[in-house]
Amino acid sequence: LSGAIAPTRGRIVVGGQDIRGLQPHRVAHIGVTRTYQIPRPFDSMTVLDNVAMAIMFGREPRSLAEARRAAGRQLDVVGLGHRSDAKPAEINLHERQLLEMARAVAAGPTVLLLDEALAGLNPVEIDQAVRVVRRIHDAGITIVIVEHLLCVVNQLASRVVVLDRGTVLADGEPQAVMRNPEVVRAYLGKHAHA
């Protein structure tokens, strides 16, 4: 979806435009951004400048001064405004994952792809990250999330698609999908209670 790997068939349409075969930076300029399960910040830059970089080279490029002002607002959205002068090595995993979200949203997407953005977090951090994801969605951004934490899926998803070895097992409303016998068998074990 982000352009990193070319699909072998089908279409990917965003805003009426087929994005198959486009380079990742072109996909981002159309409005699809992503986070990575393992955050990849620029270690030599501050948290603020990591986000400013995404703005400077995003859909509507801006000067460094404008990008820094906008980056500060994005950091406030994810709850990192107080860490803007820190370097990525000085913040914890949860904060680095929030930084990934801020960078992705700063590029001005219409679609945000979250790749296990809550992996490795404790329950309090998960709750905070869920609130951030909801704020992002409430701002009008469509979110596609890959997540193995069922509690997160149940809190955030309006639609769930479950895959097993590349085959769609179920597609629909979260509670119905989680009760689907094939999903239970594949992901929770055949004796689990959904």
Cα→Cα distances 76→71, 84, 178, 187, Å:
9, 9, 34, 37
Q: Which residues, 6 or more positions from 91, have their beta carbon under 8 angstroms from its beta carbon? A: 47, 80, 83, 99
Task: For 140-164, write each residue's pLDDT tens digit.
Answer: 999 999 988 888 888 899 999 998 8
Model pLDDT, residue 190: 62
- How does residue 191 score in pLDDT terms, banded at 50, 70 and 90? low
Task: For 51-102, write each residue's pLDDT tens digit.
Answer: 999 999 888 889 999 999 999 999 999 999 999 999 999 999 999 999 999 9
Q: What percent of the chain has pLDDT over 90?
A: 66
Compute the mean pLDDT over every residue in the chain, rounded to the nearest whole number.
91
Q: What percent of the chain has pLDDT over 70?
A: 96
- How does residue 46 score in pLDDT terms, banded at 50, 70 and 90? very high
- Residue 194 clears pLDDT 50, i.e. is over it: no
**DSSP labels, 76-91:** HHHT-GGGTTS-GGGS
- Name the nearest CA neighbour of 104 among 85, 78, 124, 82: 78
Q: Summarize the confidence of residues 110-133 as an average pLDDT.
A: 92
The dihedral built from the CA positions of residue 109, 110, 114 and 117, taken in this order, carries a sign that is positive
Burial class (CB in 10 A: 0-12, 13-18, 19+), 74: buried
Show the tokens assigned to 143.
Answer: 């979110």
- Name the nearest CA neighbour of 111 among 144, 134, 83, 82: 144
Model pLDDT, residue 185: 86
Determine contact, residues 86/46, Cβ cutoff 8 Å: yes
Determine contact, residues 9/152, Cβ cutoff 8 Å: no
